[in-house]
Amino acid sequence: MSTRRKEYGPSQGLSMMRALTDAARQVQREEFNKIVGSPEIDPKAIQQMRARGGRWYAYENHALDSVYLGRLQFLRCDPDRTYTTPPTRMPDTQTSINWAYQLIGELNLETGWIEARQ
């Protein structure tokens, strides 16, 4: 009983290279997100902000020497809140100093996108 080997020609090689290239890009994207922070907002976080209502503003870490570079934080600003308008930097809290987080825009709760500050 003879077993026939599958021949690899140019078409198989090309598809294998595409798969390897796509896998490498995914790894690069994941590594980049570890370094710079993921540009995606967790759907659970958006759902919580929708449930609480109000206007939410996004702040991004811009400190180049920080392990949290690119990380997002959100602040709710409303007339009945401490901040009625968004400050240019994320306010400090009892547990963290937030000077590195700069205002980048308002979160659109319908689309889940951050709308750039005008």
pLDDT of residue 22: 73
Residue 19 is predicted with a pLDDT of 72
**Residues of the chain predicted below pLDDT 70:** 1-17, 20, 24-39, 117-118
Q: What per-residue confidence (pLDDT) applies to 30?
A: 61
Q: What is the pLDDT of residue 89?
A: 96
Q: For residue 16, what are its two tokens?
A: 């294998």
pLDDT digits (tens, 9 = 90+) for 102-113: 999 999 999 888
Q: How far is CA 34 from CA 20, 51, 52, 108, 113, in A?
A: 21, 29, 29, 25, 21
* pLDDT in the model for residue 13: 62
14 to 18, 23, 24, 26, 32: CA distances (angstroms): 6, 14, 15, 18, 26
**From CA 58, how far away is CA 104, in angstroms rounded?**
6
Q: Where are the domains of the chain?
A: 7-36, 43-116
Please give the single-letter amino acid code of residue 106. E
String of DSSP letters for 87-99? -SBPPP-SS---T
Asked if 98 and 90 touch (Cβ cutoff 8 Å), the reply is yes
pTM: 0.67
pLDDT score recorded for residue 35:
52
Q: How far apart are CA 58 and CA 40, in angstroms?
A: 12
Q: Model confidence over 77-96: pLDDT tens digits?
A: 999 999 999 999 999 999 98
Residue type present at position 28:
Q
pLDDT score recorded for residue 118: 63
- Amino acid at residue number 97: I
